[in-house]
Structure 1
Amino acid sequence: MGEPAPQMTQPAGVGPAAKPTPVILLVDDDEITRIGMAGRLKRLGYRVIEAVDGSAGLTAIRAHRPDLVILDWMMPGMDGPSVCEAIRADPELRSSQVVLMTAHDRPEQIAEGLSRGADDFLSKAASKQEVLARVHASLRSSALVREIERTRDDLDRSHKLLSAKQHELESELQSAAAFVRAQLPLPGMPAPGIAMHWAYQPSLALGGDLFQVCPWGPDALGLYILDASGHGVAAALRAVGLMSFLREDNLLKAVGSFDPGAIVNEANRRFPLTQDGEYFTLWVGRLDLESSRLSYATAGHGGAFVHANSGDSRWLASASLPLGFDPDSTFDSVSTQLQPLDRLYLLSDGIYEAPSSTGELWGRARLQATLEEHHASTLVHSITETMATAHHWLGGDIFPDDVALLGLEIQDRSTTHKGRA
């Protein structure tokens, strides 16, 4: 077989980029054999590096990372199979393509060479055609291995980058979750004669069910609980936006009063249904601190419950659409009288819709019964035990939906009831 025809070159910047010339390391202590084989390989168009023994060959492999290594079997000191073993033992070199060159091709010798790390054999007496065929085959294998290595390295880099981004995202989510949680009220005494405690557990790092208890003017508390449809970052950001609207200073500008019906009507106008179908449900209340009279309005949210000290219970909700479903909807305020030691609970539907292992929901009736059962205990104990009972029903720690449970107790002003808070 004759030598390959010279390749036509193209001007720089024209046509596909030229592939690099394959590099072959030839390791042979016999100078005549080495020079002859090197000349043959060079005439085939390859770049050839030469080494005079096994030790020098290992050094050259580490320095040049050739595409193919052709090793003489018989060499002083470290012979060809020993070099193969050293290559396979080195994680940086083990994927190298190695051909053992020998004057003998007995089956037992071939078996030993393969078992010690050789990929193929080449007889010193091989014809030009055989040399070309075996070298081409070995270089194809080497190219495939190198491509696999590059793909692996790319995947490793991508994985490291993804892990770093994931860590960064988790850190940002934790910061965002801390910010959202900081928007919630501090448990304790939001106003004289009012005790408060709450539990909050979003289904993800960020939740879209938020609530607040804060002064609305000098003689009233504003109360609300909202639920942004969906979960995660988008729902939480939308929920914080609605919380900003419900701030005392903003309500005075946007609504002009603290009437719950007027507030919900304005919220309905400002927070329409999104193009993706996302919406809010909202319960808003105003508690007069002097008379303990509660006025409230709701837009699709049924999460308010009063357990009176007399033993009666009632849900504070009315049939209504969520915010933004109908811009022409009107929402009216409703009033109810609270008495000393009555408890008002604001809650998300995530707590009573907690499923058991069989899929049965905990339900409003069980939630109500649990809160009533613990009415004689402190408010903190009532909230804590109700959450524990919900977890027990769920049979796990993570609710499928955001869970919020807030309790307020009207304290008896004629006596002290610090122990109940």
Structure 2
Amino acid sequence: MLSIQLQRAGYQVIEAESGPEALQVCRRYEPDIVLSDWIMPGMTGPELCREFRGLSREGYGYFILLTSKTEASDIAYGLEAGADDFLTKPISGAELRARLRAGDRILRFEEKLRASNAQLQKTLDRLNLAQEAMDRDLREARKLQQGLVRERSGRFQHFELSLLLRPAGHIGGDLVGFFPINQDRAGIFSIDVSGHGVTAALLTARLAAHLSGSTEQNVALRAAQAGTEAVSPLALAQFFNTMLLEETQTDTYFTMVYADLDFHSGELRGVQAGHPHPLVQRRTGEIEPVGDGGMPIGVLARPRFDEFRLRLNPGDRLLIASDGITEATDPDGNLLGDEGVMNIARGHRGLSGHNFLDAMSFCVSQFTHGERRDDISAVLIEHREWGDRDADPLRSGPDRRGNLPP
């Protein structure tokens, strides 16, 4: 009788005489709805329900137990076995149809949910592929950006220059470097472009091209009858400020310290444009900040940049660090600051060159507990006391493109 009612209601019906036979039917046909007696040959309805829930199938199956049991403990037992609904005997046709319609609604909802999840998974797979491709591109971009700093150190007569550049992510906005002006002078720069993404990296690449070792490309150099001349540090900052305001349509700006170093006299002329204060450490160990700050480049049409002069005597050194170092924070939000960098310099006074820069980078990492949110970069200028052979500029100085001899 129940089978006839179901067929008249438009359902395709498959009957089974026992629990084991019903389980075989479920394995073979994966029915959408199962109506099972509580008591039947071979196994009980709850036992069949447990086995049914353990089957591997594509969609959800709605399970209704037919029973004359009305005790709360029996209902709980059936629900724990995995039943979705119950029909109490004797079965009413109206109640049967209502229970089946409820099952149909749940199955349709489950099917839509499954389709949505499948579409979501496809979208997620596409996004993962796109992310993997982007990561590959960014890794290559990082290699290219690291290549902008072709030489991490250079020796000019009695001076040694060492560079540190470590982006926070794949690509960053920091740039450090140096280039020879002539046999007796070099230009040295430390730049920090706002932001850390592609926009910052593109501007960094452009600035690197403008400060290359080639006289034809380097905007800090100009050809003269007597050889190569350099524009003043202040004029260079003003040039970059005009370029950024007139040629770019973004809110990007950058900070900079640029210095013109004379190897014979130790005289250094520089400009500070919103960059952290350079720190000069004398041979005695005394440390003092240099400059008054100045405005970042690309913010105002007529900014005030700070010019400074100093002399580096034998045993002295100058550290120019980006705000990724000076503004590093510990887990409590405390800034490392200029004083923290000074303490690092005092504590590692016996180290020089890259040994000192690596030690400073390690100290910053310890201070932040390894959480680095910004690029870190630095330039270390040291007035060393080598012998005459080491001081020969033809042996130790870079060529016109900034390459060191073997």
Could you tell me how far apart the structure 2 residues matched to 1:292 and 1:220 are?
10
Between Structure 1 and Structure 2, how many residues are aligned?
380
Counterpart in 1 of 2:6?
41
Contact 2:176 2:378 in 1 (8 A): no
What residue is the counterpart of 1:278 in the other structure? 252
1:50 aligns with 2:35: no
Find out whether 1:402 has 2:375 as its counterpart: yes
Asked if structure 1 preserves the Cα contact closer than 8 Å seen for 2:212 and 2:218, the reply is no
Secondary structure at the aligned position of 2:318 is classed as: strand
Kindly tell me: are residues 91 and 327 of structure 1, through their superposed partners in 2, closer, same or farther at Cα, counting changes over 3 Å?
Answer: same
Mapping for residues 333-348 of structure 1, pairs under 5 Å: 335-348=309-322
Which deviations, in whole Å up to 9, do the C-alpha atoms of 1:308-363 show, x marking residues without a partner? 33556554434532112233457686554433333222211232223345444333
In structure 1, distance between residues paired with 2:277 and 2:306: 17
Q: Identity over the aligned pairs, expressed in percent?
A: 27
| More moved, 84-93 vs 307-316 | 307-316
Matched, 1:301 2:275: yes
Query: Aligned pair in 2 of structure 1 residues 216, 59: CA closer, same or farther (>3 Å)?
Result: farther
For structure 1, which runs of at least 5 residues remain unmatched after alignment?
A: 1-35
Deviation string for 1:183-210 (max 9, x for gaps)? 2243343545443334444444433222
Kindly provide the amino acid, as one letter, of the partner of residue 411 in structure 1: R
Q: Contact between 1:279 and 1:324, CA under 8 Å: does it hold in 2?
A: yes
- Residue 299 of structure 2, aligned match among 319, 325, 328: 325
Q: C-alpha distance in 2, partners of 1:377/1:256?
A: 33
Does residue 1:371 correspond to 2:350, yes or no? no
Q: Which residue, out of 229, 235, 242, partners 1:262?
A: 235
Indicate if the aligned counterparts of 2:295 and 2:305 stay in contact, CA closer than 8 A. Answer: no
Counterparts in 2 of 1:142 and 1:312: CA distance versus 1, 3 Å: closer
Structure-1 residue corresponding to 2:399: none
> CA–CA distance in 2 between the matches of 1:290 and 1:117?
89
Greater relative contact order, per chain length (Cα 8 Å cut-off, separation 6+) = 2
Q: Distance in 2 between matches of 1:276 and 1:205?
A: 22
Alpha-carbon distance in structure 2 between the residues aligned to 1:288 and 1:183: 24
**C-alpha displacement at 1:271, in angstroms?**
1.1
Structure number with greater Rg is 1
CA distance in 2, matches of 1:359, 1:112: 56
Q: CA deviation at 1:285?
A: 1.9
Q: CA RMSD in A?
A: 3.7
8 Å contact from structure 1 (residues 71, 100) kept in 2 = yes
- Flag the 1:310–1:106 CA change in 2: closer, same or farther, 3 A: closer
Matched position secondary structure for 1:281? strand
Give the alignment's TM-score, normalised by structure 1.
0.74
CA distance in 2 between counterparts of 1:405 and 1:219 reads 23
**Residues 1:174 and 2:148 are matched in the alignment:** no
SS of the residue aligned with 2:377? strand
Q: Which one-letter code corresponds to 1:307 in the other structure?
A: Q
Partner deviation per Cα, 1:372-399 (whole Å, 9 max, x = no partner): 453343334433333344444x251123
Structure 2: runs of 5+ lacking an equivalent: 223-229, 392-406
What are the superposed Cα offsets for residues 149-182 of structure 1, whole Å, 9 maximum, x if unpaired? 4455455555555555444444443333333223
* Equivalent pair of 1:271/1:324 in contact (CA under 8 Å): yes
Distance 1:253 1:188 in 2: 20
**Structure 1 ranges of 4+ moved more than 6 A:** none
Query: What letter matches 1:361 in structure 2?
Result: L
Q: What residue in structure 1 maps to residue 323 of structure 2?
A: 349
